[in-house]
Chain A
Amino acid sequence: MLFQTELFMNLRETKMKKLITLIALVAFGFTAKAQEKGSVLIQNATVITITNGDLEETDVLIRDGKITEIGKDLRAPRGVETVDATGKYVMPGIIDAHSHLNGVDINEARNVVTAEVTMEESVDPNEVGIYHALAGGATTIHLMHGSANVIGGQGETLKLRYGASQEGMKFENAPRTIKFALGENPTRVHGQGNGVQPRTRMGVEQVIRNHFDEALDYKRKREAYFEAQSLYDRRGKGTPPVPVAKNLRYEVLNDIIEGDILVHCHSYRADEILMLMRVFNDYGIKNYTFQHANEAFKVAPELAKNGAHTSVFSDWWAYKFEVYYSTAYNASILNANGVINSINSDNDQLLRTLNHEAAKVVRYGNTSVNDALKMITLHPAIQLGIDDRVGSIEEGKDGDVVIWSGHPFDIYSKAEMTFVDGTKYFDLENDPDDMRIHINPGTEFEDGANFRRIVDNREENTCLQDAFILFGEQSAQAQN
């Protein structure tokens, strides 16, 4: 019975995927701007390379989307625009390892494990927030599934090519990623909301182990079936083997075990972080990042030993019980203990000001300015497996750079130009008010949809978007 249900779901998923892709192509495909590769010579700036110090009075040449030269007194090739950045700072585009900025849906919350779903079909390329993020110096985001499920959906790494299609926003050849979630969110949604395991952190561990074991069994049986089938086909006689149907969920879980998918795990408490490292060691899974990880500082030596990464808020705490015993010094402690850490937003506003979020890492714990800058550039790139392409200003890397009016940690500094693949997507000098691409008549006037009444003292909680229905009205309000 269970098997049939899963089969049906898989069929439905596949159909939905095709349907959504089709709709997306029709809706956005024709109007979308082609993926552009640009060229520009930025002259005489202080270049924050991240990997090679800050270079004074230096030029950066980007040709056809790639950084081709960094040096003094470079000459612009024919037809290449030059920008005088005297007195200004050039920095790699900010990368946010945790965002829900332009997700159409965030949580497929009706099952404890939904490894088969992906954010690929849930990208809204028309979201005006993309432009707002560019205006804050961001160029790449990791669009994530929510944290309702222990094993949620797969993520999508996007370049903020505002105006491109769903397909055109994709970070080409970026490794696959998937969301895991531990602690309060999955135990609330499934245990408290649906009355199924897990209701506790004990249950969370077993959900992961059971599904990995089932996936491995599935793989063994499926391979045995293929073998038997090919034997049968060769011999052309005897009894044909009983087929083992394809199961997309188990396929994805096997891809995780085999290291083809990077795990980004929503987590807060030290004990659950240790639990997942234990489980992953048992299944041989490497290269994973703990998202939020407010108590990661308590197990920094263990994280460093396992080579696990962290991606944290600069100073959020106490909004729920599992972050009550945490500290704004988290990032500095992790950094001092040799853990590769990034600062993320998980919030459309924070995404606009990630430079100043990173500056707080200097405030809380005296981390060096360059190490703090790494936390919004190179480190998130490493965590997303794209550090060969972005995260620093180096010859051969993508032309994703931002020109700032002053040092990016100065509260008075503004992003003046933001380039993705050498193409200018934001220019402070040419910044019209209405930057919407697609105007939804339903939200044109007095748009209440994204309106936040500050007086309600509400924290946005996009991580649980689409899952509130499971709690009923009252506890949804309590969540705020």
Chain B
Amino acid sequence: MLSAESLAKIDRELAKYPADQARSAVMGALRIALTERREKGATPEERCLNSEVIEFVANYIGIAPVAAYEVATFYNMYDMKPVGKHKITVCTNLPCALRGGMNAAEYIGKKLGIHLGETTADGKFTLLEGECMGACGDAPVLLVNNHSMCSFMTPEAIDKKLAELE
């Protein structure tokens, strides 16, 4: 289900906690599983977590599948729905909204031809509304694929970023 590299990374997560508290490693393990799927998945369905992957991860670290499912569905960075190759999460909380966060989201949506929460037909981009990323001074901010945060996303900066991602 997962590659040897990912399993080695999960083993590293497991090693951080006492053997009888392996469930502490569930967040790291799910993140590693999701990262692998996003990088290797060919379709939006293959880029997100599903019950098979969650069950596999749970069994691997030795916890009940439903316990891993609780975690995966609690945190919104674990993609439980099909997701494009590039997941763009735009902050629309108050400070960002005051400084053009909503406009940035609308601009991206218009450019890609999708609404918030949708994926482009070619499966390349998914546009999501996000919560505060702790960089209000850099507003508008957006997050690409959970990991890379982009600041001061004016229309020009957005054009540049989208061109990079193409």
Asked if A and B bind, the verdict is no
Task: Give B residues with C-beta under 8 Å from A.
Answer: none
